[in-house]
Structure 1
Amino acid sequence: MTHPLILPELLENIFSFLAKDKALYPTLFVNHLWYQCGAPILWHRVEFFNKDYHQSRRALNMSRALTRRLINFKKVMRGKIKPLYCSKMAYLRLESLKISDAFITAILHSCPNIRFLILDKSKGFSNIPIIEIARCCPKLLHLSLDACKAITDRCISEIVRSCPKLEYVCLDSSRSLNITGVSVIEIVQFCPNLIYLNLSCQYRIKDVSFCAITCSCIKLQHLDLSFNYYITDDAVCGIVRSCPNIQYLILHSTDITDKTIYDIAHYCSNLLVLNVGDCRSISKESIHFLSSKKPTLDIILDT
């Protein structure tokens, strides 16, 4: 009778639980079979997140442990011989790091099955590897580029035209992105399956571009337009009337008025959370009306 711990299918099932609390690493040294079953699971999700993030003019502060791990990972990915299982990578998070064009490009060329890509608050790279995302990651579902200074309209256009399965796009600028309304139009035109869209702090995007969301994003569930001072009631009202599946609507620090609130009360039947903090043109009467129409709605008013 075959021992259960030499059945690959059973081992892979067990190892998938061990990966959650980083207990999988010791199993790689048991024997060759255990390594073959465990290594692909580790490569499936790769994360380097700088918890001690503090951006200065010259560098990003990182712990010694994170620096050592990142250096080793760079050596592996930029080496002539790539690991056998790197093609298994589906989730990549490089957040608050200083990384180069060559490093990102090496990863993208070696890992064509990436579906989740997060480069939030990282720096040191240009728009060249970002454009490479379009050529190397056609299966991409989730893209987050918060505060990435290298992002341009061309980057967004290349990505959305080559990654039609995109469901999650986060471009919270924090005053670092260089995109315009052209990117918004490209996103809504080429991402019909979009569920999550974050365009907060996009000071270069005008109201007419936000109106484009009304044309194609019927599956949209989460929309963040906070700190967009050029957006008006007309754009937001058009969105809430055309996107019936919205559950989370973030309009913090915008110049919307009671007109938007009344439209939300009438058209957003699935809305769960509404953030209108620091929206100074909204009256208490409209909020009371909205609350009476949607008593279970979580309305955030705090500044």
Structure 2
Amino acid sequence: MAKRSRNNRRKTFGKFTTNPTQYLPLCNPAKCGAPILWRRIELKGNEVDDKFRLERFLKIVPRGGRKPVYSSKLTHLRIAHYHSLSNKKIKGIVHTFQNIIHLDFEESMKSVSIGKVLKLIAESYPNLKYLNISASHGGFKNDKGLCAIAQSCHKLEYLNISNRTEFSEISICNVICSCPKLQQLDLSYCEITDKTIEEIARSCHILKYLNLRGCYKISKGAVNKLNPNIHIENFEETLSPPDLIGAVRNHLVQNNVFSRQILAQGLQRLLDLSMRDNLQWYSDPGLARSIVRSSDLQLG
């Protein structure tokens, strides 16, 4: 009877992740009556109920002074799709919860001052094993934060920097080289080339998962040199200009179904790349301001 009661309390206080590698209960701050149980918290800003709980949770994050009694218990924190998460709140989280090893800010961290915030995270959490700072779109070039992660967080097993076009390939290679324990790596839409793939082959001997969605500057030859045990997702080889010219020539000479398929695939990949670059160009506020200034000068 006592065992059944404990199980019921566990179901009331928390929920379980969908990730099979995470078996501990996630605490729901709105329902959890015993702060000592707060070891894992997962909240999403794009869900109505979760957003309300998320805002309540952020209110308990102090700006300084005395910390809550449960602050040392929290090791896993996920705040996803919450665009109102300010750098000041992140600093408050880091100050309050100093034993975090699993940090997930999926599409929540602003590009503004990301270098300073990541530097603070790196200095505060040297034992970090899981870090997700993926974004919906990139910002201006800034390597300061990722370099700090490379210098301090050598125990990382999971890293997601998808859409972080502000990071240069050099800083990405540095963090790969500095984190030999990486098992999962998401580089979707990062501006990388074969150099990054070569660094992965050199440094990541236990890597199990690699996401290369939108990485159009990588060759199939480089990918083929990776450990065959790595599950590579979303890699699409893009035809280089000479290859595309050859595909057009073959289509004109042969004019069969196979040649048409090869040509169509190459053109579609080029179109996808062009659309992505144009969207990023239009969304760049710096470019938008320069266009306005240039138009004003012409009118004047």
Q: What is the TM-score normalised by the length of structure 2? A: 0.65
Mapped pair 1:96 → 2:81: yes
Map of 1:48-197 to 2, 5 A cutoff?
48-52=43-47, 63=48, 65-79=49-63, 80-97=65-82, 98-124=84-110, 126-127=113-114, 128-147=116-135, 149=138, 152-173=142-163, 176-197=164-185
Aligned pair in 2 of structure 1 residues 25, 13: CA closer, same or farther (>3 Å)? farther
User: Following TM superposition, by how much is the alpha carbon of 1:96 offset from its aligned partner in structure 2, in angstroms?
Assistant: 1.1
| Alignment-mate amino acid for residue 40 of structure 1 | I
Of residues 230, 236, 240, the one that matches 2:217 is 230
Distance in 1 of aligned mates of 2:32 and 2:57: 20
Q: Secondary structure at the match of 2:167?
A: coil
Aligned pair in 2 of structure 1 residues 177, 233: CA closer, same or farther (>3 Å)? same
Alpha-carbon contact 2:42-2:77 (below 8 Å) kept: yes
Alpha-carbon contact 2:29-2:53 (below 8 Å) kept: no
Of residues 229, 232, 249, the one that matches 1:249 is 232
Mapped pair 1:217 → 2:200: no
User: Following TM superposition, by how much is the alpha carbon of 1:25 offset from its aligned partner in structure 2, in angstroms?
Assistant: 6.8
User: Following TM superposition, by how much is the alpha carbon of 1:103 offset from its aligned partner in structure 2, in angstroms?
Assistant: 0.6
| Alignment-mate amino acid for residue 207 of structure 2 | L
User: Following TM superposition, by how much is the alpha carbon of 1:66 offset from its aligned partner in structure 2, in angstroms?
Assistant: 4.3
User: Following TM superposition, by how much is the alpha carbon of 1:256 offset from its aligned partner in structure 2, in angstroms?
Assistant: 7.6
Residue by residue over 1:78-99, the C-alpha shift from the partner in whole angstroms, topping out at 9 and shown as x without a partner, is 2533211012111111111111
| Alignment-mate amino acid for residue 229 of structure 1 | Y
Match of 2:36 in 1: 40
Alpha-carbon contact 1:218-1:245 (below 8 Å) kept: no
User: Following TM superposition, by how much is the alpha carbon of 1:67 offset from its aligned partner in structure 2, in angstroms?
Assistant: 4.6
Aligned pair in 2 of structure 1 residues 23, 190: CA closer, same or farther (>3 Å)? closer
Match of 2:13 in 1: 19
Distance in 2 of aligned mates of 1:216 and 1:172: 20
User: Following TM superposition, by how much is the alpha carbon of 1:206 offset from its aligned partner in structure 2, in angstroms?
Assistant: 2.3
Q: Secondary structure at the match of 1:94?
A: strand
Match of 1:198 in 2: 186
Aligned pair in 2 of structure 1 residues 23, 99: CA closer, same or farther (>3 Å)? closer
Residue by residue over 1:137-192, the C-alpha shift from the partner in whole angstroms, topping out at 9 and shown as x without a partner, is 1121111111164684221121132111100011111xx53112113311221111
Aligned pair in 2 of structure 1 residues 181, 83: CA closer, same or farther (>3 Å)? same
Distance in 2 of aligned mates of 1:19 and 1:147: 31
Distance in 1 of aligned mates of 2:85 and 2:228: 40
User: Following TM superposition, by how much is the alpha carbon of 1:45 offset from its aligned partner in structure 2, in angstroms?
Assistant: 1.2
Q: Secondary structure at the match of 1:48?
A: strand
Aligned pair in 2 of structure 1 residues 49, 67: CA closer, same or farther (>3 Å)? closer
User: Following TM superposition, by how much is the alpha carbon of 1:16 offset from its aligned partner in structure 2, in angstroms?
Assistant: 4.4
User: Following TM superposition, by how much is the alpha carbon of 1:111 offset from its aligned partner in structure 2, in angstroms?
Assistant: 1.3
Alpha-carbon contact 2:118-2:148 (below 8 Å) kept: no
* Root-mean-square deviation over aligned CA pairs: 3.2
User: Following TM superposition, by how much is the alpha carbon of 1:132 offset from its aligned partner in structure 2, in angstroms?
Assistant: 0.9
User: Following TM superposition, by how much is the alpha carbon of 1:220 offset from its aligned partner in structure 2, in angstroms?
Assistant: 0.6
Alignment length (residue pairs): 227
Alpha-carbon contact 1:218-1:244 (below 8 Å) kept: no
Aligned pair in 2 of structure 1 residues 219, 121: CA closer, same or farther (>3 Å)? same
% identity of equivalent residues: 27
Distance in 2 of aligned mates of 1:256 and 1:84: 58
Distance in 2 of aligned mates of 1:104 and 1:24: 18
User: Following TM superposition, by how much is the alpha carbon of 1:14 offset from its aligned partner in structure 2, in angstroms?
Assistant: 7.0
